[in-house]
């Protein structure tokens, strides 16, 4: 069975969808779960639970493979992330908000293309920790607001729009030394509890808080408008304390039951 990165929040979303299907088609709860799973491209409900268990196992170790799988999923949803790493090699994992994602080496022109404009690309990573072997499938250069990736096999050239300033900042972070007290939460450090918490929030949806008045005040101090915050609350967003920002749930039009 194909592994699909699956968070606890994903499972709850599917359960909610199953309730909609149960009411709409007047079917048993078990059948509704099976339908919800198949709608989301799982083979069956047991496939969902197996993927969630495997995702949880991988998240505990935060392997590069798991993070790339999760970033692929986030990229396909149109999310934006720029995350700096210094192990196994200094690198940056990114999703550009336009259904494209990649892992780029910070000290060499190597690049691992994950997904381009909504189309997944075949990639491979073996091992964990210091034994991680990344099969870089492309090389890259940086131009103004653009990452130019060239496929090593086909020679195809992909011009990937990026936030140039943010990417350069993350590249610099991945190659510099730091003190724990100055730790930037965009790093992936398996030994730092704060970094672990942030990654589990981004990739597993854990530890998020309701956006209450206190958290709303924090967001407004970060230049979020009250209107923007209220719209996010209505959309189901929650507060991430490590990121001092909001994280939205996985949403699709299928999650909304049409009015009769």
Give me the residue spans of the domains in the chain: 8-60, 66-204, 213-253
pLDDT at 203 over 70: no
pLDDT tens figures, 60-93: 556 788 889 889 988 998 888 898 887 778 999 9
Closest CA to 67 of 9, 128, 152: 128
Angstrom distance (rounded) from CA 81 to CA 132? 22
Of the given ranges (73-82, 96-105, 159-168), which has the lowest mean pLDDT?
Answer: 73-82
Angstrom distance (rounded) from CA 166 to CA 203? 20
Angstrom distance (rounded) from CA 94 to CA 116? 12
Average pLDDT over residues 154-169: 93
Long-range contacts of 116-122 (CB under 8 A, 24+ apart): 116/158, 116/160, 118/76, 120/72, 120/76
% of the chain surpassing 70 pLDDT? 80
Burial classification of residue 119, based on how many CB atoms lie within 10 Å of its CB (0-12 exposed, 13-18 middle, 19 or more buried): exposed
Please give the pLDDT value at position 181.
Answer: 38
Please give the pLDDT value at position 157.
Answer: 97
pLDDT at 252 over 50: no
Pairing of the two strands 187-188 and 157-161: unpaired
pLDDT at 24 over 60: yes
Pairing of the two strands 101-105 and 110-116: antiparallel
User: Which of the four pLDDT bands, split at 50, 70 and 90, describes residue 20?
Assistant: very high
Distances, alpha carbon 77 to alpha carbons 22, 74, 151, 188, in Å: 26, 5, 23, 22
Tell me whether the omega of the peptide bond preceding residue 88 falls within 30 degrees of 0, making it cis: yes
Please give the pLDDT value at position 175.
Answer: 85
Of the given ranges (45-49, 80-84, 116-120, 235-239), which has the lowest mean pLDDT?
Answer: 235-239
Enumerate residues 6+ apart whose C-beta is below 8 A from 35.
18, 21, 25, 27
> What is the average pLDDT score of the chain?
82
Please give the pLDDT value at position 202.
Answer: 61
Please give the pLDDT value at position 194.
Answer: 63
Structure tokens at 187: 């790093």
Q: What is the pTM of this model?
A: 0.55
Angle at 192 between CA 186 and CA 198, to 5 degrees: 45
């Amino acid at each position: 069975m194909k592994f699909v990165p699956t968070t606890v929040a994903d499972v709850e979303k599917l359960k909610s969808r199953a309730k909609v299907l149960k009411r709409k088609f007047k079917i048993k709860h078990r059948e509704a779960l099976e339908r919800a799973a198949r709608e989301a491209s799982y083979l069956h409900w047991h496939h969902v639970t197996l993927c969630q268990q495997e995702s949880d196992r991988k998240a505990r170790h935060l392997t590069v493979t798991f993070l790339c799988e999760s970033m692929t999923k986030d990229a396909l949803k149109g999310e934006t992330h720029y995350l700096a790493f210094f192990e196994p090699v200094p690198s940056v994992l990114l999703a550009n908000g336009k259904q494209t994602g990649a892992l780029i080496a910070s000290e060499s022109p190597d690049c691992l293309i994950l997904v381009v404009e909504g189309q997944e690309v075949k990639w491979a990573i073996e091992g964990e920790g210091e034994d991680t072997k990344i099969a870089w499938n492309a090389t890259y250069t940086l131009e103004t607001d653009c990452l130019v990736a060239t496929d090593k096999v086909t020679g195809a050239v992909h011009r990937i729009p990026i936030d140039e300033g943010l990417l350069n900042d993350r590249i610099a972070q991945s190659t510099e030394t730091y003190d724990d007290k100055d730790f930037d939460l965009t790093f992936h450090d398996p030994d730092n509890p704060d970094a672990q918490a942030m990654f589990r929030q981004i990739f597993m949806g854990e530890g998020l808080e309701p956006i209450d008045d206190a958290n709303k005040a924090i967001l407004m101090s970060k230049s979020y408008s009250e209107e923007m915050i209220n719209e996010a609350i209505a959309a189901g967003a929650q507060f991430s304390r490590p990121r001092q920002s909001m994280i939205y749930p996985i949403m699709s039009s299928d999650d909304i039951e049409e009015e009769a």
